[in-house]
């Protein structure tokens, strides 16, 4: 009975119509296959490149597991791994990295200037600090491009400043500056002498170099500090090595002062002598 019905059913269709039906079924099958083929095509954008995969994975996480893409703990997956694969088949992975940077920002100087006018030259002594701010910054990168930064720590550092400025008599402006932290220095024993000192050569009126004796002229051992050398002695001030002495040997310096009363302040006193440079005149 069934075979007769099927035969009768087929007989109702002409051969051409039957062929058309078969072709239609085949085309529909192909369309469905193409649909599912492209529906299963996934594009993964990672490390600045696009990788194409064909998969029937249920969700993003399953897909990433199948294609064996290694993720770092901080990496961002769009959509998230537990989401189904999006209709457009596009998945993006953002590589997240983190770095710490140390920044040094100059803040400026804080100094105190003291002017001295009682020796051969007007000078300014400048003491203080140069301040820098050290900033620790945490920087987050998305695919090697800076995404955000956060300041983690700030602290200030101080570098000592100790300078001597020589002032030009005419212009009243700074002529020369010496960094007292970098010039040579020497620990010495000081004595003093003054104009008219009976113990000095030519009664202290004239120096070995023929200069007029006055406050700021100092006598030294030329083997230790060359003649015509500019010096600075804290408390005494700016000086010029323009004299020698019979008893002024080795680590001994004789400071030219104004009078016998002032001489007493410097007798056998330990001082630090900053050796600036050698010049033809003070």
Res. 261 pLDDT band, cuts 50 70 90 = very high
Longest dimension (CA), the chain: 157
| Model confidence pLDDT, tens digit, residues 106-142 | 999 999 999 999 999 999 999 999 999 999 999 999 9
Where is pLDDT greater, at 28 or 62?
A: 62
Sheet holding 123-142, edge to edge: 96-116, 123-142, 145-167, 174-179
With beta carbons less than 8 A apart as the criterion, state whether 170 and 145 touch: no
What's the pLDDT band for 55 if we cut at 50, 70, 90?
Answer: confident
**Cα–Cα distance, 215 to 220 (Å, whole number):** 15
Cut 0.85: pTM above it: no
Mean pLDDT of the chain: 88
**pLDDT higher than 60, residue 26:** yes
- Tell me if 208 sits within 8 A of 273, measured CB to CB: no
Q: Can you give the pLDDT at residue 40?
A: 65
Q: What is the assigned CATH class of domain 183-278?
A: mainly beta
pLDDT of residue 229 exceeding 70: yes
Q: How buried is 175 (Cβ within 10 angstroms: 0-12 exposed, 13-18 middle, 19+ buried)? A: middle
* pLDDT at residue number 208: 94
- Give the DSSP per-residue string, 176-240: EEEETTTSEEEEEEEEEE-TT-TTSGGGGTB-TTSPBP-TTEEE--TTTS-TTEEEEETTTEEEE
Q: What confidence score (pLDDT) does residue 202 get?
A: 77
Mean pLDDT of 30-46: 66
For the chain, which residues make up each domain, given as ranges?
A: 41-94, 99-176, 183-278
């Amino acid at each position: 009975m069934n075979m007769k019905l099927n035969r009768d059913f087929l007989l109702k269709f002409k051969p051409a119509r039957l062929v058309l039906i078969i072709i239609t079924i085949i085309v529909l099958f192909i369309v469905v296959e193409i649909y599912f083929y492209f529906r299963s095509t996934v594009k993964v954008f990672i490390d600045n490149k696009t990788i194409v995969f064909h998969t029937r994975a249920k969700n993003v996480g399953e897909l990433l597991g199948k294609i064996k893409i290694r993720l770092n703990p901080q990496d961002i997956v769009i959509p998230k791994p537990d989401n189904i694969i999006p209709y457009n088949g596009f998945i993006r992975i953002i590589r997240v990295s983190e770095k710490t940077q140390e920044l040094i920002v100059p803040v400026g100087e804080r100094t105190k200037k003291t002017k001295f006018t009682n020796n051969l030259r007007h000078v300014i002594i400048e003491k203080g600090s140069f301040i820098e701010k050290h900033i620790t910054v945490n920087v987050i990168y998305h695919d090697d491009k800076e995404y955000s930064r956060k300041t983690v720590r700030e602290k200030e550092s101080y570098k000592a400043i100790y300078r001597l400025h020589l002032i030009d008599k005419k212009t009243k402006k700074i002529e020369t500056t010496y960094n007292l932290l970098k010039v040579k220095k020497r620990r010495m024993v000081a004595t003093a002498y003054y104009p008219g000192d009976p113990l000095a050569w030519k009664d202290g009126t004239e120096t070995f170099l023929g200069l007029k004796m006055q406050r700021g002229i100092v006598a030294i051992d030329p083997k230790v500090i060359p003649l015509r050398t500019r010096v600075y002695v804290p408390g005494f001030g700016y000086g010029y090595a323009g004299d020698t002495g019979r008893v002024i040997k080795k680590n001994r310096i004789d400071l030219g002062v104004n009078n016998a009363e002032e001489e007493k302040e410097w007798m056998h006193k330990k001082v630090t002598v900053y050796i600036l440079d050698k010049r033809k005149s003070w």
